[in-house]
């Protein structure tokens, strides 16, 4: 077991260094498109790390995490939309013009998507198993249709944000600097996940996934543990949504699409469930395949679907499992 753990640690370190070196090389070689691809992968990885807190640690199969991704995106879109059009977002109790400052946008995106995750979790966690999957999927779809009907913020067409939002001391329009920001967020999210997994809370959550009766017997409430995990999970995915909106400088209902929720789960599975870097590998493989296969065939989703089917039916443990050895001892 120790050897496997140490090997996973080395794989993780190599991946983390790769995420620093490859974009720096692309920057030096004058290939901004590679940096954009890497940024996209890193942002998806943040979303999947968020989901992994619910799915990997808590065993909650949420098929509605695009809702939080979209809420984060719309938080950015609405704040920036008001700032760029000089229409105050609200005038009472004080005049608020909106904002194009990333730190504030991130806080709002994190808080609002966390709040929504709390409310959805409160309802969905009254049930479990297959009900939970269907309910999260349904609430995700609710946000999708709501955003389409919300004409004030672009309805079906979405919102265009002309200038990327700013970050104090950085030029966010420079691809490598924006990448650096996203990478820092990813690193922070990974740190949170790693610390969480070893914290008393994480251990209790893990126990609640495996034997809820015993957790209840020692006086902890499994539902409250799961609700907390789901809230944090939604908040981190919402933060990723704000970054994604800034990468594209565009927000639309497609950020709420249920396919995206499915893809987030796919990232985790490709990489390996409950592995720290699983979502990162999964997002990288997905964005890479999207780019490579997408260039070869217009219908690349067929091949991607077949690959995914093969992984689910025959390959357990994901990419990290293949490199670093079988599942961890406590699973």
Residue 90 CB, shortest distance to other proteins, in Å, is: 17
Q: How far is the CB of 24 from other proteins (least distance, A)?
A: 34
Nearer to other proteins, 107 or 308 (CB): 308
The CB-of-214 to other proteins minimum distance in angstroms stands at 20
Residue 160 is inside which H or E element, if any?
Answer: strand 159-160
122 versus 191: smaller Cβ distance to other proteins: 122
Minimum gap (Å) between residue 72 Cβ and other proteins: 20
Q: Residue 196 or residue 223: which is nearer to other proteins going by CB?
A: 223
Q: Which is nearer to other proteins, 16 or 304 (CB)?
A: 304
Which pair of tokens denotes residue 132? 């939970």
- Contact residues for other proteins, defined by CB under 8 A: 55, 61, 63, 123-124, 126-131, 133-135, 137-139, 141-142, 145-146, 148-152, 258, 262, 265-266, 269, 273, 299-302, 304-306, 308-309, 312-313
What contacts 128, CB < 8 A, 6 or more positions away?
A: none
Contact 231, 114 (CB under 8 A): yes
Q: Closest approach of Cβ 126 to other proteins, in Å? A: 4
DSSP code, position 135: H
Helix axis angle for 258-271 and 278-296, nearest 10°, is 110
CB 299 → other proteins: shortest distance, Å? 5
Phi-psi region of 318 (alpha: psi -120 to 50; beta: other; left: phi over 0): left
Q: Which is nearer to other proteins, 175 or 317 (CB)?
A: 317
Work out how close the CB of 263 gets to other proteins at its nearest, in angstroms, rounded to a whole number: 9
- Residue among 123 and 170 whose Cβ is closer to other proteins: 123
24 or 134: CB nearest other proteins? 134
Give buried/exposed letters for 172-194 (b at 16+ CB in 10 A, else e). Answer: beebbebbbbbbebbeebbeebe
DSSP assignment string, 233-289: HHHHHHHHHHHHHHHHTEE-GGGG-HHHHHHHHHHHHHH-TT-TTHHHHHHHHHHHH
User: Whose CA is closest to 278, among 246, 307, 319?
Assistant: 319
Quote the distance between the C-alpha of residue 160 and its chain's center: 22
What is the rounded CA–CA span in Å between residue 275 and residue 279? Answer: 8
- Smaller CB separation from other proteins, 55 or 181: 55
Closest approach, Cβ 232 to other proteins, in A, equals 20
Burial of 253 (0-12, 13-18, 19+ CB in 10 A): buried
């Amino acid at each position: 077991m120790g050897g496997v753990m140490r090997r996973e640690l080395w794989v993780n370190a190599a991946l983390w260094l790769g995420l620093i070196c490859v974009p720096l090389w692309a920057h030096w070689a004058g290939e901004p498109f590679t940096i954009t691809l890497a940024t996209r992968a890193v942002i998806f990885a943040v979303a999947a790390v968020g989901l992994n807190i619910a799915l990997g640690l808590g065993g909650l199969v949420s098929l509605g995490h695009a809702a939080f991704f979209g809420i984060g995106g719309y938080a950015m879109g609405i704040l920036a939309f008001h700032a760029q059009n000089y229409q105050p977002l609200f005038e009472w109790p004080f005049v608020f013009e909106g904002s194009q400052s990333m730190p504030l946008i991130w806080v709002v995106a994190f808080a609002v998507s966390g709040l929504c995750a709390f409310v959805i979790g409160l309802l969905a966690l009254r049930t479990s198993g297959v009900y939970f999957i269907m309910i999260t999927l349904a609430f995700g779809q609710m946000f999708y249709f709501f955003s389409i009907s919300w004409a004030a913020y672009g309805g079906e067409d979405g919102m265009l944000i002309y200038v990327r939002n700013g970050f104090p001391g950085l030029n966010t329009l420079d691809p490598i600097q924006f990448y650096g920001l996203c990478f820092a967020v990813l690193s922070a999210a990974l740190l949170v996940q790693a610390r969480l997994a070893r914290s008393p809370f994480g251990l209790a959550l893990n126990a609640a996934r495996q034997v809820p009766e015993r957790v209840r017997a020692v006086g902890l409430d499994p539902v409250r543990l799961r609700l907390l995990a789901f809230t944090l999970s939604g908040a981190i995915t919402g933060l990723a949504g704000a970054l994604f909106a800034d990468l594209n400088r565009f927000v639309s209902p497609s950020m709420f699409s249920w396919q995206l929720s499915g893809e987030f789960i796919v990232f985790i599975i490709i990489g390996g469930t409950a592995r720290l870097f699983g979502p990162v590998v999964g997002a990288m493989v997905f964005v890479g395949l999207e780019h490579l296969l997408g260039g070869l065939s217009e219908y690349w989703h067929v091949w991607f679907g077949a690959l995914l089917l093969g992984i689910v039916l025959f390959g357990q443990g994901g990419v990290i499992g293949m490199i670093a050895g079988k599942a961890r001892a406590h699973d």
